[in-house]
Structures are given as C-alpha cells and as structure tokens.
Structure 1
Amino acid sequence: MKRALSLFGCIRQRALGLTLALGIAGLPAAHGYTVGINAGTKSLFLQVGVGTMTGGNFNNGGTPGNNTTVNNASVTVPSAQLGSGAAQAMTTNSTVTASAWDGFAFCNTPATTGQVYVGGFYRVPGNSGAAATLSVSTPANLTNAGGNTLPFSSIAWTSSGNGDATPTIPSGAFSSGAQTLLSVTRNTWFESCLAFRYLNTQVVPAGTFTGRATFTLTAP
C-alpha cells in the first residue's frame, strides 16, 4: 500500500508490499467502524499501515499529512507445509494499532497478528453528492528472481477491528487488476484492520515472490 495519505483532491493512493518466501527441501534456490465528520473543503485521506497525523487525533483537530512509507506483509512457508492447503498467516512491519480517528487501540499488535490498519475519510462542503470509492489494484502475479509466478489471488485477508462485529472493509482475497472494497459516504471516516494470509494451495519453486497492492481512494 502507499503510506498514509492525507491530501486534498480527487484521488489518493497508498501501497502495500507483499512478499512470500517459499522454501522447498532439496531445491535450490469488528464491526466496520464508520463515523460522520463535519462538512468542509473537499478532501480525501487514506492511511494504509503507518501514517502521519499531527496535533492529535483527527477527532480533536489533528491534521493528516503525507507519509511515503510502504509497509510489507510477508510469510515464509516451511518446506513441509508447501502446497498443503494449510493457510499461512502473514506478518507485517507496520506497528500501527491506534485509530487515527480517536487513538483507540483498534488493531491488535501487528508483530503477532499481522494486522494492517486501513483508514481514512471523504469530506465535501455540503450534504449532497455521490460517495467516494476505496479500491485495490494488483498485478496478476507475484514473481521471484527466476521469473516464476504465483497468482495474487493466493493471498486473502480477514477484516476486523476491536469492538466491532462486522468489518467496514469486507474480508476477501486479491484478484488481478482493480477491485472495489468499499463505498465511502460523503463526510464519513472509515477504518478496518486487515490480516493477510497465503492460501498455500499449490507447490511452487523455491524463492522469494514479491508484488505490490495499491490502495486508492477516489472521489467523484
């Protein structure tokens, strides 16, 4: 994902790097949280993993800022488990647990749960107009140094958030190209915690497979 974006305009993007290290012996190498916000200058904010909010949380006057960090989600699959169908939980180097809205511990410790915080808002001057759209785009495959490929659809996520029974961003899996995740009503804040996993349904050559998912918030 691209890192926390604050920014004013019609499109905001964040990217998340996804890495799978696959080893084979003998081979070489919540209830979706949404809340209404005050109307104001047309603006978008999108945070995926680490972000920037200065002067406090957004609900008490904090100001979103640009952050170019690209966090990663990764997993190393043991040789004995490769292609077994036993999904492998991915970990992340993001350290974000607190909501940028109010500081609540919305996600659980990323080091143990792999949860990546995704949140933001869509604001317009009045109370009318179409909704914004949160989407994610990926290439067809993750690739390794040898040119081997692994379908991006091999990675799925579970969406949650502490205190929430139904996630705002639905749980799902990547598909090649762009896919819509959420419709964001005008003057609304949204957030979810996404825990990624590798589905591990096929045997593939050893190596480190990488790819990038780009999250985009687009306003009409």
Structure 2
Amino acid sequence: MESINLSAQKRERGPKGFMRTLRRQGMTPAVLYGKEVGNILIQVPTKELEMIITGHSIGSTLINLEVANDDQKEPYLVMCREIQREPIRRDLLHADFFQVVLTEEIETEVPVILVGEAPGLREEGILQHMLRKVTVSCLPTEMPDRLEVDISGLNIGDQVTVADIEAPENVQIISEPDSVIAMVVAPAYEEEEEEDELEEDALGEAAADEGEGEEAGQGEE
C-alpha cells in the first residue's frame, strides 16, 4: 500500500466566519482524530489535498501527515475518512483524518475495478457497474489500492457479485456477498419492442371489445 505526504497546521476554534477566511487563504479546515491523539483541529493546503483526492483513492491510501505547531512538527500516519464539498461549486469545505495504528486492523472502502471484456457486449448487451466500492478489513500495511473483478465470462443476463471477488491474503471483505457488482443486461430496444407489442395488443383488444359492443347495441334496436 502506498503512502503520500501532506502538510498541516494546528488551528484554534475561531469566531463565526473564521472557516470562510481560512478557505479564502487556500486552506481547508480539518480534524485529526484517533485513540492516541484524541481530536486535534488542523488546516491543510487545499491544493495539496485536491491533488491527493484526484490522484488516489482516499479510502485506501496512507498519508504521512506532518502537523506544524509553532516551531515543532509532529508526524502522524493517517487515512482520510471523509471529504465535504460545497454542493454546487464543489469547493472543499472540510476533511476528516483518522490516525492509523499499524498493528491494528481497520475497515475502509476500496474501489472495485472491472477487467476483461464481457462477451455479452458483442451481442449488444449493456454493462451496468452497480457497486464501485466494497468494505474490507485488514492491517493498514496490507490495504489494497483496489480490487479487480473479471467480467470476461459475462453473457447477457449474467452478473458478478461480491462473493466472486478474490481478495488478497489477510484481507477480509465485509460487504454482503450477494451484492451485485456488475451485470450485462439486454439491449434497451428489445424492452421497447416488447412494450410496443403489449401496447398494440391492448389497443387491438380494446378495439375488438368496442366493436362487439356496437354490434350488441345494433342487435337490441
């Protein structure tokens, strides 16, 4: 498992509007927490954090967080647990960092990557990637960056589930085994044709019923 570096500074709780001031200065408010450190308020450079988020899976990446406090710097091995963004502009608002203990197992989400080519796609089937992350438990140093699922055996109507994932040694998958990761479904136009046929049948039956009603009415006259 790879690890990357991120600088940080301790911060104090400020008055109303203090968080907005930090963000305008290019810093993202954050918190560092864990059994050994408790809760520490920090701030991290927004550009550095954005680069990490863009280039890595934050749930499966160890971060060497160096927290500056006056003239001292304290290193912490952490993982990013949560990122908050502004809903419209998607600006970073806040981040949570969890201190990692190398000798203790942790649970986190790992990306699921599809590999291979499904034969069903050559039959105009449609591949649906349903589950893009699974929860795993293992030591931090054995956390996989991603898990791969082979879809080269999927025909139309077939699917792969969490149970089909081959996890690395010493890595336990916590997600439900029957959760569907990916499936190949029939082309949409086939469904549309079936719907059109049903609609035509319904219209035909309605017209026949109407004709019978008219004939019955004429007979009564």
The reply to whether TM is greater than 0.5 is: no
What is the TM-score when the length of structure 2 is the normalising length?
A: 0.23
Higher helix share: 2
What is the TM-score when the length of structure 1 is the normalising length?
A: 0.23
CA radius of gyration, larger in: 2
Higher strand share: 1
